[in-house]
Amino acid sequence: MRKLSLWMLASILLLFACNNEEKKEDASTAPSTSETKPQPAEFADAKYSQMGKNGIAQLSSGDIDGWAANWADNIVWQWNNGDSVAGKAAVVAYWKERRTNVIDSISFNQDIWLPVKVNTPQQNEEAGVWLLSWYGVNAKYKTGKRMIQWIHTAQHFDANDKVDRVIQYLDRTPINAAMAK
């Protein structure tokens, strides 16, 4: 009796397993009725993170021209207080002036990089690749004073992988204090 019960249980399990396999095959061979839509945003290629890391290394070393090689001619650099500089020549001139005559040295630490591809803009952002970054900044100014703070930067890349928009979120108070004589 015991052998018969085990045989019946095994037969039922085998029948269930075979029936389940048939359903899986049917589902996989059936034509898809829904199209997959891209997500509103997704991770972008890690190469953008490396481009960002290279950029802050060039800024640290004072190589503004090397840093600017990755900028589009129509770049707009914007800060959270509403100030902005537009056009590659103007942005290069701004950073050369800052790095040569205002900032003695600058270093970055604890950096975080997040490359994102925006497929469907949610509000005002542009579609395409954005590189979001957060890092600690330690700058010594020509006044001898230091500025230390966290800065968040969002960079947008055009179709040629050139940065055409930078939005930088920072606190001007420690910068102004470090610049004061």
What digits encode the pLDDT tens for the residues 2-33? 444 434 444 443 444 445 444 454 555 555 55
Identify whether the C-beta of residue 85 lies closer than 8 Å to the C-beta of residue 94: yes
- Give me the pLDDT at residue 31, please: 56
Q: What is the mean pLDDT of the chain?
A: 87
**Amino acid letter, residue 25:** E
- Give me the pLDDT at residue 133, please: 98
Residues 6+ apart with CB under 8 A from 17: none
The CATH number of domain 41-179 is 2.40.10.330: no
- Give me the pLDDT at residue 123, please: 81
Q: How does pLDDT run across 155-165, given as a tens digit for each residue?
A: 999 999 999 99
Determine the 3-state secondary structure of 10 from DSSP.
Answer: helix
**Amino acid letter, residue 73:** D
User: Whole-angstrom Cα distance, residue 56 to residue 132?
Assistant: 13
- Here the tokens at position 139 are 């700058």
Identify whether the C-beta of residue 98 lies closer than 8 Å to the C-beta of residue 122: no
- Give me the pLDDT at residue 38, please: 84
62 by Cβ neighbours in 10 Å (0-12 / 13-18 / 19+) ranks as: middle
pTM: 0.78
Residues of the chain under the 50 pLDDT cut: 1-18, 20-23, 25
Domain range list for the chain: 41-179
